[in-house]
Each structure stands twice: as C-alpha cells, then as structure tokens.
Structure 1
Amino acid sequence: MILQGTQTLTSLIHIISESLLTPVVILLVIAVIIVLLAFGGAINEFISRKPISSKELEELIRSISFSNNVSQMKEVISNSNLFDYQKEVLNRIADNHDIGKEARKAFASELISDEETRLIKSTNKTDVLVRVGPILGLLGTLIPLGPGLAALGSGDISTLAQALTIAFDTTVTGLSVGALAYVISKFKKQWYESDLIVTETLAEAELEALNRW
C-alpha cells in the first residue's frame, strides 16, 4: 500500500514536471524579448549620454558657490550640461532656500535618495533576469530529460534526440539572458552611481552657498 501511494505521488510529480515545460519555454521567450528591449534601451542611453567632465564639474561648483541669489544659481544650473533630473533636484533645493538650514539639508538628502531609488528601479527587470534567466534555462534542461531517458530505455532515439535538443536550447537561451542582463545592469548602475555622486557634490556646494546668504 505504501508502495502504491509512493507510485501515485511520483506519477503526480511527473505530470506536474512535464506540464511545466511549456510555461518555462514561454517565460524564456518573454525573458529574451525583455532583455533585448533593455539592451536596445541601454545602447540608446549610452549614445545619448553626455556626462559632464571633471573640469566642467569644477567650473559648475565654482559658479554655484559664487552665486549671489537664487535666480542666478538656477540660471547657472539650467545652462549647465547636467541631465534633466539632476537639474530638477538642484532647482528644487534652490526653490526651498527660505526654509531652515537643517530642514534644507534634510530636504536635499531626501530628494537625492528618491532619485537614487528611481534609478535603481530602472534596473529591476534586468536584475531579476540575471537570476531568473539561468533558472529557467536549468528547468528547460531538466524537464525534457526525464522523458528523454525513458525513451532511451525503450530504444526511441528520436524522442531522446528531441529532448536533448530542447534541453541544450533552453540552457543556452537562459544563460544568454542572464549574461546580457548582468552586463546591462552593471553598466547602468555605474552610470547612475556616477551621476548621483555629481548631484550630491553640486548639492553640497549649493547648500553651502544658500547657508551664507
């Protein structure tokens, strides 16, 4: 009776395992589409990116530090080569020049923290695919091997060959998705980290200038 119950559970697990192959393949196709779109977006962002140089940053710090009023400071920021979101953060800090020193510093920290969160969220999809891609590839490898080995036992080489083909294809696809997603996330995080450092540096210069008035 115990043996019969074990066989029933084994059969159930076998059915569940085989039924997962189609969803795994579909998810792999979706993952490929997502990572290709992300790759295209990363290339487009790389081409359009024009981060300021260290010399430009130095000049901008000086211009902000020696600004005489909020209008002049905002004009310096608006005419710079900063990205739009960096300008928005710095301009919002300048617009709140009339609040207390500590409150202004806390407000600036919150703005930069919010921007950091937003930038991190933009890499969430590729971060997930770094792990999910190889997992889907492994599932796509193991699931068809069961029927393939069973077919080998009965001498059905054709079914075994088909199972091995699916296994290799899903493995390569899953690993490729994971690798490409890793490269995309790695470079984008480096870009955003550099941008945030620039924003924090300029925010410090801006706060010092505002505190002197």
Structure 2
Amino acid sequence: MIIQGTETLTSLIHIISESLLTPVVIILVIFVVLAILCLGGIINEYFSRNPIKSQDFEKLVRDISFSKTPAEIGEKVNGSNLFDWQKEVLLKIADNHDIGINARKALASELISSEETRLIKSTNKTDILVRLGPILGLLGTLIPLGPGLAALGSGDITTLAESLTIAFDTTVTGLAVGGIGYLVSKFRKQWYESDLINVETLAEVELESINNQK
C-alpha cells in the first residue's frame, strides 16, 4: 500500500516536472527579448549620458556656497550641466527656503530618497534577469534529462539527443540572460550611485548656503 502510494506521488511529480518545460522555455524566450532591450537601452544611455565633470562640479559647489539669495542658487543650478532630476531636487530645496532649518533638511532627505527609490526601480528588471535567468536555465536543463535517461534505458538514442539538445540550449540561454542582466545592472548602479552622491553633496552645500543667508 505504501509502495503504491509512493509510486502515485512519484508519477504526479513526474507529470508536474514535464509540464513545466514549456512555461520555462516561453519565459526564457521572453527574458531573452528583455535582455536584448536592456542591452540596447544601456548602450543608448551610455552615449546619451553627459554627467557633470569634476571641475564643473567643483565650480558649482563654490557658486552655490557663495550665492547670496535662493534665487541666485536657482540660477546657478539651472545653468549647470546637472541632469534634469538633479536640478529638480535642488530647485525644490531652494524654493522652500522660507521654512525652518529642520524642515528643509527633512524635505531634502525625502526628495533624495524618492529619487533613489526611482533609480532602484529602474534596475529591478535587470536584477530579476540576473537571478531568474540562470535558475530557469537550470530548470530547462534538468527537466528534459528525465525523459532522456529513460529513452537511453530503452535504447532510443534519438529522444536522448533531443532531450540533451534542449538541456544545453536552455542552459546557455539562461546564463546569457543572467550575464547580460548583471552587466546592465552593474553599470547602471555605478552611474546612479555617482549621480546620487553628487546631488547629496550639492544639497548639503545648498542647505548651508541658505542657512547662512538668514
């Protein structure tokens, strides 16, 4: 009775395992498309990015620090080579110069935190590719091996060859997807971390400048 129950459960697991192959392959194909789009996106972003240079950044820090009014700070920020979202954060801080010191600090912290969350969300897609790509590749490798080994036992070399082909193809595809996702995530996180450090530094300088104007 126990043996019969075990055989039933084993058969059920076997059916479930084989039924997963088609969804795994479909998702891998979708991931390949996403990986190609992400790779094209980061190439385009690389050539279109124009981050502020170190000497320009240093000059902007001094300009903001020696500004005499919030309006003058806004002019310096608008005339800089910062990204639009960085300008938006700094301009909002300058526009709220009339609130208390602690309130300004809290506002600046919240604005920067919101932008950090937005940038993190933009890398979530490739992070998913990094984690799930190889996992799906491994699933696509293991699932066909069951029928392949069974075919080997019965002398069906054709079925074995087909199973091994699927296994190798899904492995390579999963690893390629994970590799592309890793590269895209790595470069974007480096860029965005540098951008956030710049805006945090400028926000501190701006807060100090506004406080000294009071």
User: What TM bracket, shorter-length normalisation?
Assistant: over 0.9
Q: Percent identity?
A: 73
TM-score (norm 1): 0.99
Structure 1, unmatched stretches of 5+, are none
2:29 maps to amino acid: V
For 1:80, the equivalent position in structure 2 comes to 80
1:78-121 CA deviation, whole Å, 9 max, x = no partner?
A: 11100000000000000100000111011101111111111011
Partner of 2:45 in structure 1?
A: 45
Distance of 1:86 and 1:35 partners within structure 2: 28
Q: d(CA) in 1 for partners of 2:114 and 2:46?
A: 23
Q: Distance in 2 between matches of 1:108 and 1:152?
A: 66
Q: Which residue of 2 aligns with 1:5?
A: 5
- Partner SS, residue 98 of structure 2: coil
Aligned residue runs from structure 1 range 9-20, under 5 A: 9-20=9-20
Q: Which runs of 5+ in 2 are unaligned?
A: none
Measure the CA separation in 2 of the matches of 1:92 and 1:133.
41
Deviation (angstroms), 1:67: 1.3
Q: Hey, what's the Cα distance between the residues in 2 that align with 1:123 and 1:25?
A: 24
Q: Alpha-carbon deviation of 1:126?
A: 0.6
d(CA) in 1 for partners of 2:73 and 2:5? Answer: 78
Q: Deviations over 1:54-81 (max 9, x none)?
A: 1111100111111121221111101110
Greater than 3 Å deviation, 4+ residue runs: none
Deviation at 1:36, TM superposition (A): 1.1
| Shift of residue 19, structure 1, vs aligned partner | 0.3
Q: How is 1:22-171 mapped onto 2 (pairs within 5 angstroms)? A: 22-171=22-171
TM-score, normalised to structure 2, is 0.98
Number of residue pairs aligned between Structure 1 and Structure 2: 213
